[in-house]
Structures are given as C-alpha cells and as structure tokens.
C-alpha cells in the first residue's frame, strides 16, 4: 500500500474527494489503516462523505464525525466536510442477480432520470421497448426494486472527484452506476477501497 506522502505527491491535482461508506458500522470490512486514510482525506480541501445513516438504524453524521476524529481528523476540518445520507440498494436487486450487464443498468437509470421516473414500476411497456434491454419483463419489474435515489440531485457536484470506500461491488458500485448515468466522472482510488 502506498504511504500518505506518496498519495500526496502523486495527487493528480484533483481537489475533491468523495468517501463512500467509510463509517464505524463497516469497520470490520475496512481493510486499510484508518489513521493513514484520514491523513489522505485531509489532503483534499473539498470532501463529500456519503454514508448510510439513521434511516437504516446506523449513526448520524455527528457520530460518524466523532469516529473520524478518533483517527485524527480535527472537528474544525469535519465541519467543512459535506455530509450526505445516501442510503443504499437503489440498484442492488438487479446488480445482485448478476444477469444484467452494467451498461444496461446505466442505460435504465439514465432513461428514468431523463423521463423523471423515480421508480421503475412507473415505466410502461413502451418505455421498456425503447430501452431495448434484454430480459426485461413486467413480472421482473414487480419482483425486484430499482429506483433513483435522492443523490441524483447532488451527484453533479462530485464531477471530477476522486472517490473511495466500499463495498466495491455494492454501495460504491451503485454510486458509480448513478454517476455514469448522469455523465459524472469519478476516479476510483483503489488503494482506499474495501469489500
């Protein structure tokens, strides 16, 4: 693993960092050193923390912030970070089936956003015909969840940001699918991912 100094020196000039689900509830899954991670995160002047919170029975921004403070992030720094409770499982039902290509999920999400349809149960047969995604059936629509999250209204702020966290094939991947659907460019920092 690279040291904090190597990350700082090699920083590509990006001044924004998005952190996805690096929080105490996932501590046992986090495979990197939190003290080093916090040093890395503090090298960015603009930090967005995307977290699962009270809606799922987890801690709020303040309790997660106190956890970061235990690893060296001063409270005055934490107050400048932007916190957003994003929740999860917007796309996971279909992702977890493993039968749909990621590009199909991006196409479906983009179409729904453009049509201002927030739940795929609001789509009609004609919409699915336009999408030309194999294996979509009305039965499937009623069997699995797929909806557009509130993050859609904030994700453009992250355009060009570095992103890290996890889980790589779970929540972080959901954020990446949403970003691609919105034409938002995010650069995954693999050394600071987990899952």
| 53-91 confidence digits (pLDDT tens) | 998 889 999 999 999 999 999 999 999 999 999 987 899
Same domain, residue pair 67 and 97: no
The range of the structural domain enclosing residue 20 comes to 15-88+159-193
Same domain, residue pair 176 and 81: yes
> What's the number of domains the chain is made of?
2
Contact status, residue 14 vs residue 161, Cβ threshold 8 Å: yes
pLDDT digits (tens, 9 = 90+) for 126-159: 998 898 888 777 677 778 889 999 999 999 999 9
Cα gap 37→192, rounded to integer Å: 7
Whether 187 is in a domain gets the answer yes
Whether 117 is in a domain gets the answer yes
Same domain, residue pair 28 and 118: no
Model pTM? 0.88
Same domain, residue pair 83 and 98: no
CB count within 10 Å of CB 11 equals 13
């Amino acid at each position: 693993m690279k040291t904090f100094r190597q990350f700082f020196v090699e920083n590509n000039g990006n001044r924004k960092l998005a952190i996805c689900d690096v929080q105490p509830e996932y501590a046992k899954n986090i495979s990197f050193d939190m003290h080093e991670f916090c040093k890395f995160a503090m090298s960015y002047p603009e930090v967005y923390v995307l977290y699962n919170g009270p809606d799922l029975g987890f801690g709020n921004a303040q309790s997660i912030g106190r956890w970061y403070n235990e690893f060296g992030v001063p409270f005055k720094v934490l107050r400048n970070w932007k916190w957003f409770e994003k929740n999860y499982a917007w796309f996971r039902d279909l992702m977890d089936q493993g039968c749909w290509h990621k590009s199909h999920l991006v196409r479906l999400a983009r179409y729904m956003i453009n049509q201002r349809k927030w739940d795929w149960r609001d789509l009609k047969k004609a919409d699915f015909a336009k999408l030309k995604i194999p294996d979509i059936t009305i039965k499937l629509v009623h069997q699995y969840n797929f909806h557009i999250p509130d993050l859609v209204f904030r994700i453009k702020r992250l355009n060009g940001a570095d992103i890290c966290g996890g889980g790589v094939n779970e929540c972080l991947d959901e954020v990446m699918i949403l970003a691609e659907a919105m034409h938002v460019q995010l650069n995954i920092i693999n050394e600071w991912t987990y899952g």
